[in-house]
Structure 1
């Protein structure tokens, strides 16, 4: 595994094409609590499935306070009130994104609290409501897997019009966003239940779109392909793509250039993102990686398990149950809105409904045809 670089990213907000309507106040100078943990989150390794802790962040005395959710997720936590903060990314039809736990939230205010919203039951989190995903491009390359998508973000608790932000395992205080969030994948380890922790990953979400990349932990340069310091530059520069709204496709692809690097007159150069609040004005056009062997799908065939899942606040149709209270997905729920797990991680022997299934800068076309960016406003201390 490569030696990690832990470069704190400053609190920031994109100022391109969308106005910034609110800024966070600076830290309270009278707050004497420490900011940084003894061990950066991205250097913590938890083996699947027996090594998953209840919470990966165990330092509540630090300035951002305690982790709001939990990592030990299973059938007892699955449902639309889940606070599971362990995500998965395996394929075009099996992934989780981070989004707020409460309706009408702004990403910049809640990124430390993000919870897992998944496309399949069995991971212990919430399910993405039916109709929220309106287009996807999945790409598998030699170094990473990536998905770029269009969505109705209000259906995953993001305020309408919010430009969004970035989730990654680093953050300004190296505790990750969300705090303690873990990511697993079987894409690099043979599929099925062969999950392995992905150390380097990044998700931009907002402006009714998202892009998500997880990098093969066996690659020495996984931290370069999943760079986290260009947090104000969106999907165009971090994950160049040709995704189309209304199209669901899975492709093989070549590796992109490292985010922030480009070739000019035969020389490889590196762009430096200016410190906030200076405007980000990249001086280069990123290369869009080539793709091949693309296969198209219908949304209904990819996400059949979401057919009965309604958006937060929407009227739901109860699914058949065996006597337990169930949410729209048929997964058992608990009262109080804060379910706690028992002992078996998601994907283990207590998998919920669906058990046995494997488990861009800066143009966002007004017509919704092609995504070249996610325009967002974000800060790193929620």
Structure 2
């Protein structure tokens, strides 16, 4: 009987967590090629994929739409290209991995509104997808009002496939 009570208590806790209000949301944003945010590991030198569950937001400038974000380290973003289309906004470009002490052998990973990190969202959007690829020094983020415009199912294909854009 004690085991059944313990199992029911655990199940109740899981259901509560899954249906709890969305407090603690982590918000990124894309406003322009000079005003945008990206997720990165919580500390310098962290692996991108290893920190999909606890990544934090960094912005190019303070943005009210991403109230708890830090600032992207100076020189980390080398180039940024803003684009918009029906149902999405995006920024694509290049990074200097050394400015966040990222490894040249880190193949990168994906952050998205599907749960990496948990409770992540993009301001004024229904869905988002972001990839950071330190080994080839690319990054990309797309925020979508049309969920079909954000491809979250092909992270291993990389930025240029998941978010077509200007990577010069």
Shift in Å, 1:161: 2.8
Question: Residue 155 of structure 2: SS of its match in structure 1?
Answer: coil
Shift in Å, 1:181: 1.8
Work out the CA distance in 2 between the residues paired with 1:157 and 1:181: 24
Aligned ranges 1:1-382 → 2 under 5 Å: 53=23, 55=24, 71=25, 85-122=26-63, 123-156=67-100, 158-170=102-114, 176-184=115-123, 196=124, 198-206=125-133, 207=135, 208-216=137-145, 222-244=146-168
**Max radius of gyration: which structure?**
1
Change (3 A) 1:44 1:88: farther
RMSD: 2.6
CA contact (8 A) 1:95 1:118 kept: yes
Work out the CA distance in 2 between the residues paired with 1:45 and 1:157: 35
Question: Residue 91 of structure 1: SS of its match in structure 2?
Answer: coil
Change (3 A) 1:168 1:154: same
Shift in Å, 1:86: 2.2
How many correspondences in the alignment?
Answer: 151
Work out the CA distance in 1 between the residues paired with 2:166 and 2:58: 24
Work out the CA distance in 2 between the residues paired with 1:128 and 1:88: 13
List runs of 5+ in structure 1 lacking aligned partners: 1-32, 47-52, 56-70, 72-84, 171-175, 185-195, 217-221, 245-382
CA contact (8 A) 2:47 2:108 kept: yes
Structure 1's consecutive aligned runs of 4 or more residues displaced over 4 angstroms after TM superposition are 43-46
Work out the CA distance in 2 between the residues paired with 1:96 and 1:200: 15
Greater helix fraction, Structure 1 or Structure 2: 2
Work out the CA distance in 1 between the residues paired with 2:79 and 2:108: 18
Shift in Å, 1:243: 2.6
Question: Residue 224 of structure 1: SS of its match in structure 2?
Answer: helix
Change (3 A) 1:165 1:45: same
List runs of 5+ in structure 2 lacking aligned partners: 1-9
**TM, length-normalised to structure 1:** 0.36
Change (3 A) 1:211 1:129: same
Shift in Å, 1:233: 1.0
Work out the CA distance in 2 between the residues paired with 1:154 and 1:213: 24
**TM, length-normalised to structure 2:** 0.78
Shift in Å, 1:45: 8.8
Work out the CA distance in 2 between the residues paired with 1:243 and 1:108: 21
Question: Residue 113 of structure 1: SS of its match in structure 2?
Answer: coil
Change (3 A) 1:238 1:44: farther
Work out the CA distance in 1 between the residues paired with 2:120 and 2:155: 18
Superposed CA offset, 1:58-85 (max 9, x none): xxxxxxxxxxxxx4xxxxxxxxxxxxx3
Superposed CA offset, 1:157-177 (max 9, x none): 53333111011111xxxxx11
CA contact (8 A) 1:104 1:160 kept: no
Greater strand fraction, Structure 1 or Structure 2: 2
Shift in Å, 1:213: 0.4
Shift in Å, 1:124: 2.9
Question: Residue 161 of structure 1: SS of its match in structure 2?
Answer: coil
Shift in Å, 1:93: 1.1
Question: Residue 29 of structure 2: SS of its match in structure 1?
Answer: strand
